[in-house]
Amino acid sequence: MSHRITSGNRLLFVTEPGGQVIEEGQTVDLTEEYPAGIDVSPFYTIRVAGGNRVVSEGAVTFKLLMKVNQVSFLTLDQITVYPGERFNRTYNVPGLGLGIKAEAENGSGVDAVDLVVIGFKF
């Protein structure tokens, strides 16, 4: 799959403006619309930024998954954020596709999260 991407930053994924709501103990596939994962292959690096909204009732764990042929292959990273916390990390491109899941802890009530993925090419 060959894509011609000009240099600079490109928005690859963002949650809806209201955020993604997750019930306690549930796991949500944030990238469900992308069976092969978010296509990160044309980029050198990606930036993943996200957060757990202040109104959330418990911790949420984001799982970044490398995908190959529409199958989750390896865990790239796992990040736990508590209500009001955010994260911002940069990675060398981990292959062809990136899947992201968010998991709310048991007994935490309802949580709301936001996430964005940006690709960078020189």
CATH number of the CATH domain containing 73? 2.60.120.380
What band does 95 get if pLDDT is binned at 50, 70 and 90? confident
With CA atoms as reference, report the closest residue to 76 among 38, 107, 33, 108.
Answer: 38
Task: Report yes or no on 3 lying in a domain.
Answer: no
- 56: domain range? 8-121
What pLDDT was estimated at residue 73? 79
pLDDT at 1 over 70: no
CB 101 within 8 A of CB 28: yes
Whether 65 is in a domain gets the answer yes
How much is the pLDDT for 5? 62
Give the separation between CA 1 and CA 96, rounded to whole angstroms.
9
Q: Identify the pLDDT of residue 60.
A: 97
**Domain count of the fold of the chain:** 1
Does residue 1 lie in a domain region?
no
- In angstroms, rounded to a whole number, what is the distance separating the alpha carbons of residues 85 and 74? 25
pTM comes to 0.89
Any domain includes 35 = yes
Asked, for residue 101, whether it belongs to a domain, the answer is: yes
Would residue 32 count as lying in a domain? yes
pLDDT value of position 7 = 80
